[in-house]
Structure 1
């Protein structure tokens, strides 16, 4: 990816990403945490969180980076080739959505610098070569931290993401049922079945209830305006928020203050 002008976007990863910076600056904001990547920096971004990406020039050099996207299809093929007996059984999926790799590591530099000729010459690399580069990138991650096994192969039952932990962290986000299922490493049917084991409410009603509970606590604290609270907890419509709030608490948000 190249960019001569600063640009910013809200990016929701549907695939795990390994990003390497050739030049410029990439600012990654996840909730209130801001990480800035520059020339030679490399980072892994998990697929189950929304991040704000700002791409811009830095010290007179244009933004230039490469993003390796690890799709579920690619990861499943790779996983099926692994010796399951050699997998780290104590691997645990980290709650951190952005993992910054050590700078100037020889294996990282070797991989990404070997790809620059294809950008500069305009030659299209073959599918076989791209698969080799993706595999090399995957091994870089796995050799960095064994816990990344659990993040990368989270479609496998031993590392299935805890549903309620995910929901608590993401109830303010506008996610479809399909996205909830995908981000927790499940099919839609499995997600619904597993969710029913931990809640009496279906997922979408649980989200509404959780948003209202969060809104109620904020209203009672008196730290924010009702309108701000409405949007901060995930509602898109003030009228819908007020109606749902009154249905649960018996009064309008304004009368709870």
Structure 2
């Protein structure tokens, strides 16, 4: 079991089952995982932002997020109710084992593969039963056994299949993740604080493959490319949009105004205040 506790967040992890509780009003995070995830909101509010779509979860609601996609999530308290969420992560090994034991004749024969990333599931007794049985484990003094967590993951798979037939071809597609275009991803994410490992994962690559592919599109290192991109966008915002330096440096992804000013002067030969 892994326990992470900060001022804002307490997360308990039990072999693929994650229980999170935010004690502050709101938390924003970038969600990206190589595995499918089933999210249930116990209390508070959760907003999942997928490109131009927003999916809102209230207490008692549930959503399935397919693997190899990158989303923004906003996890909020609501009134006096803290955010509390539970998620189940289904790795390929669990899904392959489940599939190998299935009666294949029970699998629907003609289902078109959906291109949706997030599936909000209709409330059902099966969903309520699954997640209500996990809520006692918000108490970190109680630890489920490995057998219990495995059974809960299997129960989660049955729940998904009974909730939406479209999930059959998604859950049991064991192909390796596809590669997302690097420039498309970086042009949309340059302002965010991401490690090279995260960028590699989000684009469906190992770190070594990411570095090799990046060399094909730029003579710069990924870190230098990101700084150059941030400075170019900062210049546009200062010159063409007449924005203030104190607003711009954070918008483009710099955390420190001094670092921003030094890097800007190095690239453009003048401090940003003179633009």
Q: What's the TM-score once normalised by structure 2's chain length?
A: 0.66
Where structure 1 has 5 or more consecutive residues not aligned to the other structure, the ranges are: none
Q: Secondary structure at 2:77's aligned position in 1?
A: strand
1:169 aligns to 2:188 (yes or no): yes
- Map of 2:93 onto structure 1: 77
Displacement of 1:49 = 4.3
Where structure 2 has 5 or more consecutive residues not aligned to the other structure, the ranges are: 1-18, 101-106
Q: Secondary structure at 2:180's aligned position in 1?
A: coil
- Map of 1:52 onto structure 2: 74
- Map of 1:128 onto structure 2: 147
Q: Provide, for residues 121-144 of structure 1, a one-character-per-residue CA deviation record: whole Å limited to 9, x for no partner.
A: x97543223123224435655746
The correspondence of residues 19-30 of structure 1 with structure 2, limited to 5 A, is 19-22=39-42, 24-28=43-47, 30=49
Alpha carbons 1:108, 1:140 under 8 Å: kept: yes
* Cα distance, 1:5–1:251 mapped onto 2, change above 3 Å: closer
1:215 aligns to 2:208 (yes or no): no
Aligned residues: 239
Q: Provide, for residues 23-53 of structure 1, a one-character-per-residue CA deviation record: whole Å limited to 9, x for no partner.
A: x421437599875422331124577445332
**Which structure dedicates a bigger proportion of its chain to helix?**
1
Alpha carbons 2:64, 2:121 under 8 Å: kept: no
**Which structure dedicates a bigger proportion of its chain to strand?**
2
1:43 aligns to 2:63 (yes or no): yes
d(CA) in 1 for partners of 2:227, 2:174:
27
d(CA) in 2 for partners of 1:250, 1:93:
47
d(CA) in 1 for partners of 2:174, 2:222:
20
Once the two structures are overlaid, the 10-residue window that deviates more, 138-147 or 191-200, is 138-147
